[in-house]
Amino acid sequence: MRPRRDKHPARSARILSTGIAVVSMLSVSTALTLKAQAADNAIQPNGQIANGETTPQDVATQSVAPSTPGAATPAPTVDTSTITTATVATLPTAPQVIDVPVPAAPQGGWNAPATSGSK
């Protein structure tokens, strides 16, 4: 027994074509927006973008004014005054043993370079 069609084939085709039209319109709209942005961001002869933004490559190829010396960012410290002591409840029964799969340890750890006067 053949299944009964819920919709007339022509009706489905109409819905489909409407969907394609909407998608096409959105695509055209997006393309126009991108084109407008490209015009605004016209690349200058020196490689810098007109609105002041630079491409990642430009960061390393333009001369930059010297920075000022300053401190490194220290590692965050733990404020021990905010740590509260938890109450440990007495276990009423013997603990159950559960097998938890543990991923294998990395084969090679990172060897940090050392600073030395070797240069």
- Please select the residue that binds another protein; options are 65, 78, 83, 88, rule is CB under 8 A: 65
Is residue 45 within 8 A of residue 39, CB to CB? The reply is: no
Q: Which region among 3-11, 13-21, 72-80, 90-98 touches another protein (by CB under 8 A)? A: 72-80
Q: Taking the complex as a whole, how short is the minimal distance between the CB of residue 105 and another protein, in angstroms?
A: 13
Residue 9 binds another protein, judged by CB under 8 A: no
CA-to-CA distance for 44 and 61, rounded, in angstroms? 15
Is residue 41 within 8 A of residue 49, CB to CB? The reply is: yes
Question: 108: helix, coil or strand?
Answer: coil
Q: Which amino acid makes up residue 85? A: T
Q: Which region among 2-10, 19-27, 31-39, 109-117 touches another protein (by CB under 8 A)? A: 109-117
